[in-house]
Structure 1
Amino acid sequence: MKKNYLLLFILLSGIAFAQKESVTTTIDRKIDDAFNFINTGNPNKAIPILQKINADSKSINYKLGILKAGYALNLIYYNKADYNKVITLSDEAIKAGKEIKSYVYLSHIHRNKGNAYGELGFIDNSGKEYFQALEYAKKLKDKNEKYYAVALLYDNLGGYYEKIKAPQDSVFAYMAKALKEVEKISDNEANKSMVAAKYSLIAFEYMCFGVEYSKLGKPEIAEDYFKKSLEICESKKFMSLIDEIILLSEMGRFYYSQKRYVEAIKYAERGLLTEKNSGSAKIRRDLFETLSKSYLEINKTKDSKKYLNLFTILNDSISKVEKETVNISSNDIATKQDENHLANIKKISVIYILAAGILVLLVAKYWKKRNIKLKKKYEELIANLELKAKENTEKPVAFKENAKQKSLTIMDETVNVLLEKLSKFEKSHKYTKQDMSLPSLAGQLNTNTKYLSEIIKQHKGKKFSDYINGLRIDYITEQLYINPTYREYKTSYLAECSGFSSREVFTVVFKKETGVSPSYFIENLKSR
């Protein structure tokens, strides 16, 4: 996951460098002043100071000043969710770090750059940055710095493997490796900030285990890990404000999922009170959501509406910023690739002319085939919708018996009962709720998750997530077909009303299920 300002404190207070001249001493003093603002919860005041330090360091070619200021800004902008600036500043700081071989900074900058890529959805780029950071971390000579840096990378790699849908064992393995590595740091370490960082990361890993076990439907184990994390958080050994807020937010979310609404409110309110000093907009948004939903469940509608309004305003603001950031970052990445491509073109101009001609022909051929394929997919989709409209029946989700050997034996009577309940579920449109999960559906159908998962796999031919997503896409394509009003809605609204958490996920699943993009489908419907 993501560690923040505490790491900056370790780097700035625990690593000594020789000073070149008096002006560099002044720069380092100003960096300390900027850090004081960061450490006291005023990062915005530190930004202009660090920008001036960066400019002054460049003017005298002071690499360490560029590196320190760049990294500090890197962390500030990460916590402000300005991931494009994180990536841009990282490149400049990495260049300076390589010249002076500062492996500790290089490791943490690459790691934070990987976090930024991950937030923007560039998972491959994120993984590359993490593995590069791990190489630098393993080169550190100071054992405790090495233990800590490597532990952070193992933690991030656990999150990376979860995003690429690796087996759950891989995710838990990296989380366990992170704990094992950080526990090697001695409690007798003279640098107190390093000891604090040790327990901060241990608490953070406990929280991550709580989150993962909650996802697996093991609330008792999850709660135990959350409480162990909170115990460290409430001790004097824990210093990271951001991580404390994340923990309180996750606990609020966990207790809400367990229908323990009073406890959910308790931790979310506490998190909101603590968050006032951090400026973490995304966490504040999550806290607003938990409070709105929890107050609604205990019939305090006035409080629920208050937090729902705050959530909506903040969520719209964050979504706008993230959309702009993703577009800018995508363009920046494409621009860098184009620059490298053009440099190669200049060296082999004759070959390029020939290759360009061939490329044009291939692209033309590709687009022709692609358009034919898209048109065919669209026509098949329309034919199915027309047939469904004539029959005036729900279009069944394609299913088939699993050809593989059944991994779980279930009585035929039980299978028939559950299939009948699933049929009613499909007609109820409850799958459009964003919080629909395997445990929640199993609860609604009065069965267990193993039986439900196995029956869906055997009789629907899909895993649970694909089954739910298929129902959602069937629902929204039908609405678009029969109701022209839906064709005027934004993609983000279509995603929300069909149960998807984001426009991006909706677009990917829509194309996977139908073979065409939502925009292509809507444009062709409008031209009918």
Structure 2
Amino acid sequence: MIISFNCRYFSFSRKYILLPVLLLAFYSFAFAQTSINFTIPDSLKLKTYDELTTAFAADRNDSINRNLYAKTYIAKATKDRDSLRMAMGYELMGFIYYKDYPKSFVFYNKAIEVSENLGNLRYPAILYTYKGAVLSTDGKHKEALENHLKAIEYAELNNNKELLYVNKHNIGILKTHLELYDEALQIFKECYIYELYNKERDEEDFMYSHFSLADVYTATHELDSAIKYNIQGKKLALKLKNNDIQTLFSLNRGIIYFHQKKYKKSTELLENAIDSLHDSREKLTIINGLYHMAKSYDSLHQKDKAILNYKKVDSLFNKHPYHISSVIMNTYKALYTHYKTINDKENEAVYINKALLAHDTHKKDYQKISNKIIKTFDRRKLLEKQKELNKALSQKDKKYTTFIILAFIVFAIFIFTLLIFYIKQRNTKKRFHEFVEHQKRKASEIATEKTTPAINKNTKDIGLAEDVIDQLLNSLENFETAHTYIQSDITLPSLSKRFKTNSAYLSKVINTYKNKKFAEYLNDLRVAYAIEKIQSDKHFRLYTIKAIALEVGFNNSQSFARAFKRKTNIKPSDFIRQLEETKI
């Protein structure tokens, strides 16, 4: 039983919610009318439930007969007052309309209604699982999450481990969409280990676990692990003759080739895979493939093909706006940067507006889904651990005494943690206000990072002619004014070459007249620029720390955070939070 679709995420307006609701109401009424008038045909009156199920499975391409078998199944179960059989009959009806999910949900909801109090191993957990998988594939991830959580609730209640792990896997996919890769990886590993040692495992579930692991490892650039699970998973897909998932593994390998800088191989594999996925519902997977194909062409200096594929990402996203991720943000950045380079202001403005709209939507949906996961799924895991702890304590016959001790320790830890947190917050706030006050006193120094100590007129101290020093200082002033320092590839040799001098001369001038080594000088300029943007641009504050780091020229968030704290004595995340709280 495979219900764990590898699909991703979305945003949608009220009209997308209202339409399914109206359709559900319509289909419910229509089915109620036809059910009242349904009479079991003579040819099916003596058929058993098993015979009807077998006939239903055999006529896969005959929807009329399948409808007849399913309605007969429901009519017999209703007559026999067999609630479990009624649920199974409604499930069959849902299968018939799997391509029309509002209609199929009418039957799944009816099946849930008659089975929720049966204490059955399979029902209604399987029905919530179906709904969650379909909604997730269709981009309605908040509703998908709610159904997966209900499925987990019933799976735990009725001890169905298989469905428990299928739904955990799908919540892992939600975390992947939120780019919480470490958390998603833990879930996927847990599901993989369960299936690895389960002798009765479903091989397709096992295959999808391989794909999810390969996907996350690729996203985190752990390429050896990504390749391992990609190869193993593709072998399973070949064995199961599942062409669709084989194509997904090929697409994943194409992205791996990109990260390995094998750009030609990447474009060839991605192009073939994307062509095969043309009619697939895995729209975000296709978007991801198109984006990496564009990046590969960019790296091959084939700009026209790169822009063509970036625009394909934009086109696909316009048709499916709920499939949003950082890939979309990076695509729009690539497009508006391209048009800025060729001085096409009209198109530059178009893609900047699209980037802002996508960013606002992404932030809103991220918070909505993330909060739901934290409040429900992550809390559920804590409750599981609490349950295990209480069981262990009762087995040792120390329930009361141990509980008091544990409660005291937890309370003490809580108070201690609260105290540490309070002190940390107070110190952070104090450092923030100290920095702001310092910034007010020396606004020009912090805003532009152009402060130059009094020039040492004894030019012989650094062994350079005065005209050479003046030329380099003027070049540095232009370099700062034009904000060229936010380019990530700036190095001492490259800047020396740009200034038509050598590294030793430039280094001496910076050391003497800026009182800094080159790396510190460059980082301070970038941090000052980041501070100015954070304070003046509300949209810039919404960026992740990693995005801000890349935007101002750092290669990673860690080096940016270190430089930022050295400069301001406060972490960038705390700086932004304090700024929002004080509304400076």
- So what's the TM-score if we normalise by structure 2? 0.58
User: Residue 117 of structure 1: which of 153, 163, 175 is its match?
Assistant: 175
Q: Please list every run of 5 or more consecutive structure 1 residues that lacks an aligned counterpart in the other structure.
A: 6-12, 38-42, 163-167, 398-417
CA deviations 1:43-71 (Å, max 9, x no partner) are 66666665554444425445435344333
Task: Please give the alpha-carbon distance, in whole angstroms, between the structure 1 residues aligned to 2:582 and 2:278.
Answer: 61
Task: Please give the alpha-carbon distance, in whole angstroms, between the structure 2 residues aligned to 1:389 and 1:155.
Answer: 49
Corresponding position of 2:231? 180
Assess, with a 3 A threshold, how the Cα gap between structure 1 residues 281 and 425 changes in structure 2: closer, same or farther. Answer: farther
User: Residue 317 in 1 paired to residue 361 in 2?
Assistant: yes
Corresponding position of 1:409? none
CA deviations 1:225-244 (Å, max 9, x no partner) are 13212223334899564233
Corresponding position of 1:326? 370
Deviation at 1:260, TM superposition (A): 3.7
Pairing of 1:132-171 with structure 2 (within 5 A): 132-138=190-196, 139=198, 141=200, 144-145=203-204, 148-159=207-218, 162=220, 171=222
Corresponding position of 1:515? 570
Deviation at 1:181, TM superposition (A): 0.7
Deviation at 1:154, TM superposition (A): 3.0
User: Residue 207 in 1 paired to residue 244 in 2?
Assistant: no
Task: Please give the alpha-carbon distance, in whole angstroms, between the structure 2 residues aligned to 1:493 and 1:48.
Answer: 41
- Residues 34, 50 of structure 1: 8 Å contact kept: no
Deviation at 1:498, TM superposition (A): 5.8
Corresponding position of 2:94? 31
- Residues 475, 498 of structure 1: 8 Å contact kept: no
Pairing of 1:280-359 with structure 2 (within 5 A): 280-282=322-324, 285=328, 292-294=336-338, 301-332=345-376, 336=380, 350-351=404-405, 354=408, 358=412
- Residues 249, 268 of structure 1: 8 Å contact kept: yes
Deviation at 1:499, TM superposition (A): 6.1
- Residues 255, 261 of structure 1: 8 Å contact kept: yes
Corresponding position of 1:3? 6
Task: Please give the alpha-carbon distance, in whole angstroms, between the structure 1 residues aligned to 2:166 and 2:477.
Answer: 51
- Residues 317, 324 of structure 2: 8 Å contact kept: no
Corresponding position of 1:362? 416
Task: Please give the alpha-carbon distance, in whole angstroms, between the structure 1 residues aligned to 2:537 and 2:238.
Answer: 62
Task: Please give the alpha-carbon distance, in whole angstroms, between the structure 2 residues aligned to 1:497 and 1:157.
Answer: 20
Assess, with a 3 A threshold, how the Cα gap between structure 1 residues 227 and 381 changes in structure 2: closer, same or farther. Answer: same
Corresponding position of 2:308? 266
User: Residue 267 of structure 2: which of 226, 239, 247 is its match?
Assistant: 226
Pairing of 1:328-477 with structure 2 (within 5 A): 328-332=372-376, 336=380, 350-351=404-405, 354=408, 358=412, 362=416, 365-366=419-420, 369-370=423-424, 373-374=427-428, 377-378=431-432, 381=435, 385=439, 389=443, 395=449, 428-430=482-484, 437-438=488-489, 471-477=525-531
CA deviations 1:296-339 (Å, max 9, x no partner) are 55565545544544443343233222223334444446755886
- Residues 79, 280 of structure 1: 8 Å contact kept: no
Task: Please give the alpha-carbon distance, in whole angstroms, between the structure 2 residues aligned to 1:441 and 1:202.
Answer: 43
- So what's the TM-score if we normalise by structure 1? 0.63
Deviation at 1:130, TM superposition (A): 1.5
Which is greater in Rg?
A: 2
Question: 1:180 is aligned with what amino acid?
Answer: I
Question: 2:95 is aligned with what amino acid?
Answer: D
User: Residue 130 in 1 paired to residue 183 in 2?
Assistant: no
CA deviations 1:93-122 (Å, max 9, x no partner) are 23555656564x555432321232344465
Corresponding position of 2:456? none
Task: Please give the alpha-carbon distance, in whole angstroms, between the structure 2 residues aligned to 1:29 and 1:495.
Answer: 49
CA deviations 1:199-245 (Å, max 9, x no partner) are 222222223214423xxxx3xx1232132122233348995642334
Corresponding position of 2:151? 93
Assess, with a 3 A threshold, how the Cα gap between structure 1 residues 396 and 210 changes in structure 2: closer, same or farther. Answer: farther
Corresponding position of 2:130? 72
Task: Please give the alpha-carbon distance, in whole angstroms, between the structure 2 residues aligned to 1:118 and 1:92.
Answer: 20
User: Residue 243 of structure 2: which of 180, 196, 210 is its match?
Assistant: 196
User: Residue 492 of structure 1: which of 513, 528, 542 is its match?
Assistant: 542
- Residues 449, 525 of structure 2: 8 Å contact kept: no
**Higher RCO, 1 or 2 (CA under 8 Å, sep at least 6)?**
2
CA deviations 1:329-364 (Å, max 9, x no partner) are 444467558868998799677557755874676357
SS in 1 for 2:167: helix
Deviation at 1:86, TM superposition (A): 4.7
Percent identity, aligned pairs only, is 13
Task: Please give the alpha-carbon distance, in whole angstroms, between the structure 1 residues aligned to 2:247 and 2:273.
Answer: 8
Assess, with a 3 A threshold, how the Cα gap between structure 1 residues 476 and 308 changes in structure 2: closer, same or farther. Answer: closer
SS in 1 for 2:242: helix
Question: What value does the CA root-mean-square deviation take over the aligned residues?
Answer: 5.5
- Residues 130, 156 of structure 1: 8 Å contact kept: no
SS in 2 for 1:183: helix
Task: Please give the alpha-carbon distance, in whole angstroms, between the structure 2 residues aligned to 1:269 and 1:479.
Answer: 28
Task: Please give the alpha-carbon distance, in whole angstroms, between the structure 1 residues aligned to 2:361 and 2:416.
Answer: 42
Question: 1:230 is aligned with what amino acid?
Answer: E
Assess, with a 3 A threshold, how the Cα gap between structure 1 residues 239 and 289 changes in structure 2: closer, same or farther. Answer: same
Question: 1:149 is aligned with what amino acid?
Answer: Y
Assess, with a 3 A threshold, how the Cα gap between structure 1 residues 423 and 108 changes in structure 2: closer, same or farther. Answer: farther
Task: Please give the alpha-carbon distance, in whole angstroms, between the structure 1 residues aligned to 2:317 and 2:581.
Answer: 47
Q: Please list every run of 5 or more consecutive structure 2 residues that lacks an aligned counterpart in the other structure.
A: 9-56, 59-72, 74-81, 394-398, 452-471, 508-516
